[in-house]
Each structure stands twice: as C-alpha cells, then as structure tokens.
Amino acid sequence: ITATSKTNPGSPSTGASAVPFDPPTPPLAGSAVISKVLLAATAGEASAQGTYGATALSPSSSWDVSPSSGGFTWSYPLRLPPVPGGRAPGVSLGYSSQTVDGRTSTTNNQGSWLGEGFGYEPGYVERRYKPCQDDGHSDSGDLCWSHDNVLLMLNGRSSELVRTGDTWRFASDDGSRVERLGGPGSANGAVNGDNDGEHWKVTTTDGTQYFFGLNRLPGWSPGAAETASAWTVPVFGDDAGEPCHQGTFAAGFCQQGWRWNLDHVQDLHGNVMSYFYEQESNAYAMGRRTDVAGAAYTRGGWLKRIDYGQRAGAVFTAPAAARVVFDTAERCVPTGDMACREQDLTAGTANAWPDVPFDRLCAVGSVCTDDQASPTFWTRKRVTAITTEIRSGAAWSPVDTWMLEHFFTDNADGSRTLWLHTITHQGRAGGGDPLVMPTVRLDSLQLDNRIKRPDDPVGLLIRPRLATVHTDAGGRIDVRYAPTDCSAQALPAAGSSVRRCFPVIWHPGGVTAPVTDWFHKHVVEAVTETDATTVDAGTGRALDLVTGYENLGEAAWRRRA
C-alpha cells in the first residue's frame, strides 16, 4: 500500500462516516472477557453469524493504517500515576478493523469486554485443542489433545512458540527465553487448577521476567489472594503417550489449561507488578451424559485489577503504591423492572442479553442438556469504568477514571453486537468534584463480512466497523473503506484468490456436506482528519488533512488448515 496526504483548506470532510448510529437501545446499565479463544471446539448449531465455540486468536488517542493489510487501528492510552522505581503497566484501549474482518460463520463472534473490534489484554499463553469428533469419536462433544502447540501474546505482540528440545522460542526469535514450568513429571508446578500445575515464564533480553498462570504469587500464604490467572477445560488424551491417557476413553481426561494469563512481572531492579483476574465458570454434558452433573470448566473471565509499585518478595507484606481497577457490568439492556443483575438472567429475560448464548449456560453442579454437550467460550461481562488509584495511608485515593458507555448495534442479520460508544475521562485527584474532559465518541459503519449468493439459504453476516472518531480535542477522524473487491457473481477459485476476499469451509446447521463461503477483506481507502480548532482564513472552514491509500499489486493469501 502507498499512502499520500494532502490538506484541503475550506472543504468539508470527505471521510467515510455513514450516518452515525444512534443507540437503538437505552444505554447499558451499570458502571474482561476473552476476545478470541484459540480452541477448536464445537458449540452446537452453527449459523451464518458464527458460534460461541472457539476458533484458531495532540488528542489523547492516535490512529494508524497497516501498510501490508490495509487494516485501520485506533489507540487510546490511559495515563497511569508514576511510582518509585518507575515500573508501571501500559494500559491502552485499542481498536483493529482486522479483528472484525476475521469474523466468519465459523468463528466465535462475541465482541470483547470492550466491544466489537476493541480490546485490552496484558498478555497470555494459549493452547489449541481439537474436537474429539475429529479424533475418531464421532458421538463426542468433548475436547481432545491435539499436539504441543502454544501461542503467546505479550506487549502487543503475538507469536507461535516453537519447541526445540526442552526449550521454546518465539517463531520470530528475539532472544527471549521461554520456559514451561510444571507440566508432566515436573516438581515445580503451580497450584492453579491445571492437572500438573503447568504455567509459563518469559525472560526478555532486558532481564524482565513475565509469569503466566502462576496464581499464587511469591510470598503467598493461606488466606492471601490468588490471581485466578489459569483457565482450564477437561481435555481427553485418547492416544497412548498423550497427557491424561487411561485405559478407556471415558476415563482418560483431566483439567488442562487453555489460557494462562499474565499475572506477575519482575524487572532486574526488583520492581514488580501483579495482575488479578475473575473467572467465569460453566459446565457441559461430558460424554453427552444428561443424568449426572455437568463437567466444570472456565468459559472466560476478565482482568479485575493491576497492582504496581511493589517490590520482589513483598507482594503480600508491603502494599502496592498504585493500582488500576476495572469495573464491569452485565452485557444487558435494562427493561422494565429488570435491573440487569447477574441473577436476573433467565429464559424469560434472555433477550435482554443480546449477545450472550443463554442456551449454552449450564451452572456448575447442574445437569446439562444434550444441546450443551461441548464446552463453549463466552462472557456475560463488559467493562464500564477504569480507575487509577494511589495508596494514601491505609486507603486508596482515585486519580483518574475513564467511564465507558456501550450500546448494541442492530446488524440487520438477526444479530446484535456490543459497541463501545463513548469514553469520558474524569480527573479525580485531590477530592472534590471531578474535572471532566470532553467525551470521545466512536461512530460505526456496518459492512458485509459474508458474500451472500442469490440462491444461498444461509443468512447474512454483517458487522460494525469504526468509521468516525470525535476526539476530546474537538477534532474528528473519518475512515473511508474501499469498495469491495469480490461479489457473488464474480468469485475467485478457492485456493487461488488474488483479490480482497477469502474462502471458509464450514457445515451450516442441518447441512451434512461442507459448504465453501467467501468473506470480504475491507481495506482503508482514505482517512480524513478535521481540526475544528484551526480554520482557513479565506473560507472560515476547518482544515482537513486527507491521507489516501492505494493498494499495489494483487492480494496474497496463506492457506490455514
């Protein structure tokens, strides 16, 4: 992609913001969640709108366009109080249109705790498992061991890990040392819910140590807080040599981690940070048993708080100097007398949770139905406020709060999507009434993901993308996406596409033969920045800076099985 910029004095904005969506529903009640789970799980009936199973991962903000993919990104960093030692986490709310482009009929299409396309996660390690149906057990809805695969996300970078003997490396090796601790036959396992205490440690070239899934931090004693950072699911080892293998298939399973979240960081100078999570538990009918209580697993969760300004070995004996607290609420639209509390979700109120699959909810200790025969991965939560606090004696004093408001978009395809609509920054240091910054507003534009054929009985798949940002500095950023490159009447041959669309093979509900569908890749054509505080002397209009993008050559795709 090549990019050119020009200033248009005295011209109105030419950005691609369609008429902004006004919230079709009242603002959600109240003040994390997994984003994309890299597991190969089945989740009941598949539909065009996706599944709840898992698939194969100036102004106070800034934007960018990826030169290689044409995706639009927007970042809103949060300002954190400094602490002695200088070690503080980086917290930024980020948007990527490529996340939305990746939504297909075979993916888990529930948006993150921030909303569709938005995300913040400090880091994690994940492993993929496969449906036992793909391992010779046609009647099973369980997960089976696939192979020793690992994906790691840290500091905004995600990479597959490559195993060489007893060591691991990033696929693009940067010199970091990756260690799997615990695991089969190991004596250094963590007490974290995984069957053999598996967890991970990464040491970067500057000597900083990152721990994932440790759960009980150094210095822990009974009664102290645990991080709840390791999320597990029952996994069957049906072949000899696989973890948890037993003489019979029914007995050969154990709880294994599918995600180990970052929960402890220590630098060379002994400064540490600690991350604490909340888990969401669910159950499913293991082995399709509907006569006993379902098997428990972690369906998702969210980041509860970050403590920093700590010293190594003193996490539980010396209080942190500062922290970041994340407040959450139900992904619910209040109706009538229903207050959107956790206990209010019932069969009669399920429509008030538009993107929560009530039919996959089976409480731990309950008997699950045959429709709940597979683990599914989703959340009921959204983040509503992020507050930074500093230690003041034995109490905490707030410094800054960012209030987040959401609504559910009507996607015109039978689905609704959680959308982050506004961010309002409040300065609260010193007590008294907060100082409130102008609100950042995020408007969306709906674009087709799935290319629907005229004779196609399967529904549409439409998702919102960020189209306009009204900044807190009084400016405006408009994103214009290029016209689509494929149509139902002119599709490339599968495996040889050089256009901006890609195929996905899947089984719609009730269809036995696999179906090949095509999905658009939307790229940015232009971004228009309007500075409302600066006007052209001749016209009196705000100045526009327009950056245009041109795609050179053909699209290049890599097939992923």
Mean pLDDT within 126-148: 93
pLDDT at 106: 86
Condensed to tens digits (0 to 9), the pLDDT of residues 335-376 reads 878 889 999 999 999 999 999 999 999 999 999 999 999 999
* Residues 6 or more apart in contact with residue 86 via CB below 8 angstroms: 271
Residue 90 has pLDDT above 70, yes or no: yes
User: Using CA atoms, how far apart are residues 445 and 20, in angstroms rounded to an integer?
Assistant: 7
User: Using CA atoms, how far apart are residues 446 and 201, in angstroms rounded to an integer?
Assistant: 41
CA distances from 163 to 145, 171, 202 (A): 17, 9, 14
Residues 121, 32: contact at Cβ < 8 Å?
yes
Mean pLDDT within 172-184: 88
Tell me the percentage of the chain whose pLDDT exceeds 70. 88
Residues 119, 100: contact at Cβ < 8 Å?
no
Residues 270, 218: contact at Cβ < 8 Å?
no
If pLDDT is split at 50, 70 and 90, which confidence band does 389 have?
Answer: very high
C-beta atoms surrounding 249 within 10 Å: 20
User: Using CA atoms, how far apart are residues 473 and 425, in angstroms rounded to an integer?
Assistant: 12
pTM (predicted TM-score) = 0.88
- Beta partners for 131? 143
pLDDT at 510: 66
Question: Which residue matches tokens 């293998």?
Answer: 245
Residue 473 has pLDDT above 80, yes or no: yes
Mean pLDDT within 403-413: 96
Parallel, antiparallel, or unpaired: how do β-strands 230-236 and 143-144 relate? parallel
Residues in the chain: 561
Mean pLDDT within 147-154: 92
Strands ordered across the beta sheet of 118-119? 62-65, 72-77, 92-96, 118-119
Out of 15-24, 87-96, 182-191, 536-545, pick the least confident.
15-24
If pLDDT is split at 50, 70 and 90, which confidence band does 4 have?
Answer: low
- Beta partners for 504? 517
Mean pLDDT of the chain: 87
Quick check: helix, strand or coil at residue 549? strand
Of the two residues 30 and 164, the one the predictor is more confident about is: 164
pLDDT at 68: 84
Mean pLDDT within 274-286: 98
pLDDT at 24: 38
User: Using CA atoms, how far apart are residues 381 and 355, in angstroms rounded to an integer?
Assistant: 11
Residue 77 has pLDDT above 50, yes or no: yes
Q: Which helix (H) or strand (E) holds 548?
A: strand 542-550
Of the candidates 379, 364, 376, 363, the one whose C-alpha atom is nearest the C-alpha of residue 329 is: 379
Residue 253 has pLDDT above 80, yes or no: yes
User: Using CA atoms, how far apart are residues 226 and 275, in angstroms rounded to an integer?
Assistant: 10
Residues 546, 5: contact at Cβ < 8 Å?
yes
If pLDDT is split at 50, 70 and 90, which confidence band does 554 have?
Answer: confident
Residue 546 has pLDDT above 80, yes or no: yes
For residue 546 the two structure tokens come to 């327009």
Number of DSSP helices (H) and strands (E) in the chain, helices first: 1, 30
pLDDT at 287: 95
For residue 533 the two structure tokens come to 């505080």
Distance in Å from the first CA to the final CA of the chain:
27
**Distance of alpha carbon 33 from the chain centroid:** 7
For residue 334 the two structure tokens come to 């209040």
If pLDDT is split at 50, 70 and 90, which confidence band does 59 have?
Answer: low
pLDDT at 37: 28
CA distances from 159 to 66, 149, 172, 322, 327 (A): 18, 11, 8, 31, 30
For residue 374 the two structure tokens come to 């597979």
Would you say the C-alpha torsion 120, 123, 128, 129 has a positive or negative sign?
negative
Q: What is the dihedral of CA 228, 388, 409, 30, to 10 degrees?
A: 80
Detail the DSSP E strand segments found in 157-270: 157-164, 167-170, 177-181, 199-203, 209-212, 230-236, 253-266
Would you say the C-alpha torsion 60, 418, 277, 102 has a positive or negative sign?
negative
Residue 430 has pLDDT above 50, yes or no: yes
pLDDT at 62: 81
If pLDDT is split at 50, 70 and 90, which confidence band does 1 have?
Answer: low
Residue 214 has pLDDT above 90, yes or no: yes
C-beta atoms surrounding 169 within 10 Å: 17
At 399, the amino acid letter reads V
* Residues 6 or more apart in contact with residue 419 via CB below 8 angstroms: 21, 111, 115, 116, 406, 407, 408, 409, 442, 444, 464
